[in-house]
């Protein structure tokens, strides 16, 4: 089971779907089992999850832009630690992507 399926089962666990002509579930087990009531919801969840992964995946151009931004940060001569540098590069990359998408 992949990550998308795991998350889908967390959000929409298996649920019996039963059809009963009178709207009541009888004690004699003569109702008709129709399968999993959350199956369609899970399928939609999985499709959306996989599309979001695709949309957020870094491209070669993204890696180049991150590298370019990193070099700009280093060229500014400010001395950052690794965490601060990474945060600054990420912040600038996000800003760059937002401007690029507009």
Q: List the chain domain ranges.
A: 3-56, 60-101
Query: Residue 19 — very low, low, confident or very high, per pLDDT cuts 50/70/90?
Result: low
- Helices and strands in the chain, H and E counts: 4, 2
Phi then psi dihedrals of residue 46, to 5 deg? -65, -45
Query: Residue 30 — very low, low, confident or very high, per pLDDT cuts 50/70/90?
Result: low
Contact 18, 32 (CB under 8 A): yes
Task: State mean pLDDT over 49-72.
Answer: 95
Check residue 8 and give its pLDDT. 96
Contact 31, 18 (CB under 8 A): yes
pTM, two decimals, is: 0.62
Task: State mean pLDDT over 22-29.
Answer: 52
In whole angstroms, what is the distance from residue 60 CA to residue 91 CA? 19
């Amino acid at each position: 089971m992949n990550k998308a399926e795991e998350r889908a089962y967390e959000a929409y666990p298996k649920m019996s779907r039963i059809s009963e002509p009178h709207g009541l579930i009888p004690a004699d087990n003569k109702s008709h089992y129709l399968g999993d009531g959350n199956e369609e919801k899970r399928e939609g969840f999985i499709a959306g999850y996989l599309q979001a992964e695709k949309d957020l995946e870094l491209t070669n151009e993204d890696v180049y832009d991150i590298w370019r931004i990193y070099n700009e940060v280093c060229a500014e001569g400010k001395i950052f630690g690794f965490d601060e540098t990474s945060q600054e590069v990420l912040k600038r990359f996000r800003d760059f992507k937002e401007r690029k998408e507009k």
